[in-house]
Structure 1
Amino acid sequence: MGFLKRFGWYLMGLSIGLIFLAFFWKKKSQETGVEFCYLPNCRVLKALRESPLEVNEELRQYADTAAVTFLLREGDVEFDLSDPRGEPCPSYFVVGNYQGEIINLLLERCDSTTRLIRYDVVVD
């Protein structure tokens, strides 16, 4: 059997295996609600979402909770501006675009809660 024929069979088996793998992963994530987060940005956002969000009264007056919820799912963590080893609670700087506005969040992740420390809408 020539090399090209063997390589063709290999690619066919590999593609069938990848289709089955994608099917099983999709089923698993739909049934159990499991989210596959391997990259640092995704892991930090998932950890921030797992704890209940605590917003102080000053920020509650003008912070858009829908925007905060959206950014906790789709935002980008700026690790240069974050302090992941901060004591007593690590803080994370999250940036994102929500309905055409660029929003900056500063969040503290403590043991049982996630605190919103700062909410800024960037005006161009």
Structure 2
Amino acid sequence: MKFFQRFAYYLVGLVIGLFFVGLIFSGKDTRCNYFPNSRVLNDLRSKPFNYSEKASAVLAESWIDTIDIKNTLQFGDVDFDQSNTEFGKNTKLYIIEGKTLKNQPIILKVSNKAESATLEEIIKK
């Protein structure tokens, strides 16, 4: 069998395989969260999200909105060096850096429990 024939068989099998993989995963809401930053942010977004009194007071100000919080939880960067993520604790504190819609850098302190997440503090940089 010549190289061209083997390559043609390979391509036919590859296309059929990709078709079936696409067919299987097209209807599912699958996410590939391989990196720690993505996993933490996805975990925080998937839980009931609460606001502390301190965070609610900052949200009452005009420079930040809940849309900015949601965008930071979607596209922000988790600072694992400053976060308190001891294994075995019931509550983990994550420090998340992001930006508002007006491009103002902010830092969110979010406590993560097994059943819910709470925004503890919002800091303007």
Pairwise TM-score range, normalised by the shorter structure: 0.7 to 0.9
Q: How far apart, CA to CA, are the structure 1 residues paired with 2:123 and 2:23? A: 41
Q: Note closer, same or farther for the CA distance 1:54–1:83 as it changes in structure 2 (3 Å cut).
A: same
1:57 corresponds, among 53, 63, 68, to 53
Partner of 1:28: helix, strand, or coil?
A: coil
Structure 1: 5+ residue stretches without partners: none
Q: Note closer, same or farther for the CA distance 1:2–1:77 as it changes in structure 2 (3 Å cut).
A: same
Pairing 1:4–2:8 present? no
Offset from partner CA, 1:33-63 (integer Å, 9 cap, x none): x544333222211221232222122221223
- Conserved in 1, the CA contact under 8 Å of 2:41 and 2:73? yes
Mapping of 1:61-72 within 5 angstroms? Answer: 61-63=57-59, 64-72=65-73
- For 2:85, the aligned partner's letter is P
Report the CA distance between 1:109 and its aligned residue. Answer: 0.5
Q: Note closer, same or farther for the CA distance 1:78–1:4 as it changes in structure 2 (3 Å cut).
A: farther
Structure 2: 5+ residue stretches without partners: 60-64
Q: Which has the higher relative contact order, 1 or 2, with Cα contacts under 8 A spaced 6 or more apart?
A: 2
Partner of 1:92: 94
Q: How far apart, CA to CA, are the structure 1 residues paired with 2:25 and 2:100? A: 30
Q: How many residues align?
A: 118
Q: How far apart, CA to CA, are the structure 1 residues paired with 2:12 and 2:106? A: 47
Q: How far apart, CA to CA, are the structure 1 residues paired with 2:100 and 2:35? A: 22
- For 1:47, the aligned partner's letter is D
Instruction: Name the one with the larger helix percent.
Output: 1
Partner of 1:81: helix, strand, or coil?
A: coil
Mapping of 1:16-55 within 5 angstroms? Answer: 16-29=16-29, 34-55=30-51
Q: How large is the Cα RMSD of the aligned pairs?
A: 2.2
